Structure 1
Amino acid sequence: MPLRSATDFPVTPKPEALQDTYQGCRAALVSANRSRGLLKAQSDKRGVVIAELRRELVELEADLADEALAKARLHALNAKLGTVIRELEETGDAMVGLIDESERQSGFWLVEMFRRLIEQATRWRTVKAKAAALAAEATTDPSSPSSLPGER
């Protein structure tokens, strides 16, 4: 039954049409209430969907924040690792240079070359220890690349 407006009904119906007017008003009211109930149900369903979408959006935002934090930590770890690798390369190059130079030297200068070589070897061990500490930090850090969300 299509919805009827209140203006479809007479304000002062004739006494002989009073029963028919009442029935028509009642039918229009029942129809309007049913339509209102359907609209309310649809609105409630939309509200549930909107609440679910909001919840998912909050979760996504939290996941993205976690990922951003993990990427920032990973970048910092990469920067530290780059520094350690450069130190290892510099130390290795210095050791090779000292060995090459010691092959051309003899006497007291040879002793000095070995002393400097020992210094470089000690430096090499220190830098290797830094690299091992970084590796241990990366494996125990909850935001390390192996524990990034979605990559388990």
Structure 2
Amino acid sequence: MRKQTAVGILTLFLSALFPLIPTVHADDIPPPDSRPLSSILQSVEARQQGTITEAEFDDRMWEVKVCGRRDCQKLYLSPYSADEVRRKWTRSDEIPPQGSIPLSAIVRSVEAQGLGTITEVEFDNGVWEVKLRKHRQKIKLAVDPITGNLWR
């Protein structure tokens, strides 16, 4: 009887905690009715605030890092309108080389291939690292900043 009671209490306790355990971070994937990332990035590029070095969807917003000659800022943008919600200064980053294809064009090319939903793009070690989600699968691509060639 004690064993059944203990199992019952444990089951009740775990079932109460289960909704609190994040299984999939739904807010880490842009909503289906939001603007494509390429459009968001094109809006940022048009502002000519510097070079985009990173874009990540987190906490229901696009976080886009833009670096000038001396410093970088992280812009927090609405996924629906590309309106800036806030910004903060942040550390410097590796910048794509002169003559690179605009990030919005690279992202548009990846979007057109229908490989999944882009959740992050970061310039690192001389290439654009693109992270996507398709269903529950995570996909990581690398894109040459000069040629636009893509590989997994």
The interval holding the TM-score normalised by the smaller chain is under 0.3
Which structure's residues are more often helix, by fraction?
A: 1
Q: Which has the bigger relative contact order, CA under 8 A and spacing at least 6?
A: 1
TM-score of the pair, normalised by structure 2? 0.26
TM-score of the pair, normalised by structure 1? 0.26
Structure 1 or 2, whichever has the larger Rg, is 1
Which structure's residues are more often strand, by fraction?
A: 2
